Amino acid sequence: MTSTLRALLVALALLGLACAGLDEPGMLGGSPDDSVGAKDEAIVGGSAFAGLPAVGALAYGASTFCTGTLITPTRVLTAAHCVEGARVSSMSFITGPSNRQIETSTRVVRAVPHPSYDSRRLVNDIAYLDLAAPVTGVEPIGVLPGMDSSWVGRDLLHVGYGASDGFRQTGGGIKRAVVMPINQVGGTQFAYGEDGKNTCNGDSGGPALYRTGSGEYLVAGVTSYGDRTCSSYGVNTRADVYLDFLGVPGGSPTPPTSPAPEPEPEPEPGPEPTPTPVAQTFRDSGSLSQGRAQFYDAIPVTPGTPFRAVLSGTGDGDLYVQWNTRPTSRSYACRVSVQACGVGAARSRAPLTSLLGGPGEGGLPNEA
């Protein structure tokens, strides 16, 4: 394809961006092969940036090729085209001002592009990387929970390690940032651009960050593609649309869950304490005809408490005591005919008593 035709297609693409809805921004009124740069994007018109350490670069050794953002202690948000066909076993996520001033380097163990990523139409251009370990001393950045057409005109901070000169494709490997407004919002993407500013090769996968009223930054988009010379426009994948895929909630990053502490072992059960006898007194009274018997209810005596039965009153009666069953004149544990009898420590809570009447009448106070 001639350079004249390329320029014409770029112009048509820009016209489509200005006039058409952004339902399918991957097309932008023309073929992505003709109107966009290749798989890498970088910051043009910005300046070196040492802030937001959660924004780092994807690298093979010290050679950076894309940008990414730490959104959990071990997960990095980036673009799908950055990891398509990548050598994950050799990849690392580095942080620091540049690829010559690396502050941390963490091995990548898994790269997951969105399952519906379309490299021809450049839609669903989003992915995440899982790291071998948390990045030391770096706090993750949260993901914006939502966006709509009312966001047109809002400024976003774009950060990346890409080229600073889109015509010469030079200046990559240094972390830079630039502020640009949103120009259009679609269902899964948004477009941006401003004269003299853009993202470029090497910025792909990097964040477009929204600053909240409290000063917190949230990832609004992921750099996807733009025009070939990084001089006209850029398109980001909206991060809020893919929260479920990314496995994060919208808003501030969720701190890592601390494991529940191990429960303290329960102490071995010791011997049952020996109950201290407590004096209890139960009284009952009544009258009984000669030769008749009267059964009384069980008496609730604490086990281990000595039991003593006392009979007083007029007449010639006998008081019988038995454990757990009704006593008779032939089956009893204790018999009181004159004053009192004792049966030692109670073996249960239920000694039972009965009174047998003699020639006169009998009265019954029970004491234990």
- C-alpha–C-alpha distance, residues 17 and 130, integer Å: 34
* φ/ψ (deg, to 5) at 150: -70, -10
Instruction: Tell me how many degrees the CA angle 272-276-278 measures, rounded to the nearest 5.
Output: 140
Cα gap 282→133, rounded to integer Å: 74
CB atoms within 10 A of CB 50: 12
pLDDT in tens, 64-112: 999 999 999 999 999 999 999 889 999 999 999 988 889 999 999 999 9
Name the pLDDT band for 226 (thresholds 50, 70, 90). confident
Which of the following CATH numbers is that of domain 7-246: 2.40.10.120, 2.60.40.10, 3.90.1560.10, 3.90.1640.10?
Answer: 2.40.10.120
pLDDT at residue 141 above 90? yes
Q: Beta strand 217-226 with 142-143: parallel, antiparallel or unpaired?
A: parallel
Residue 329 confidence class, pLDDT cut points 50, 70, 90: confident
Q: Give the global pTM.
A: 0.59
Tokens of 169: 């494709």
Strand pairing partners for 321?
A: 334, 353
H-helix or E-strand spanning residue 152 = none
Q: Confidence class of residue 48 from pLDDT cuts 50, 70 and 90?
A: confident
Domains of the chain, residue spans = 7-246, 293-356
Burial 83-116 (b: 16+ CB within 10 A, else e): beebeeeebbbbbbbbbeebebbbebeebbbbee
Which residue has tokens 């889109």? Answer: 166
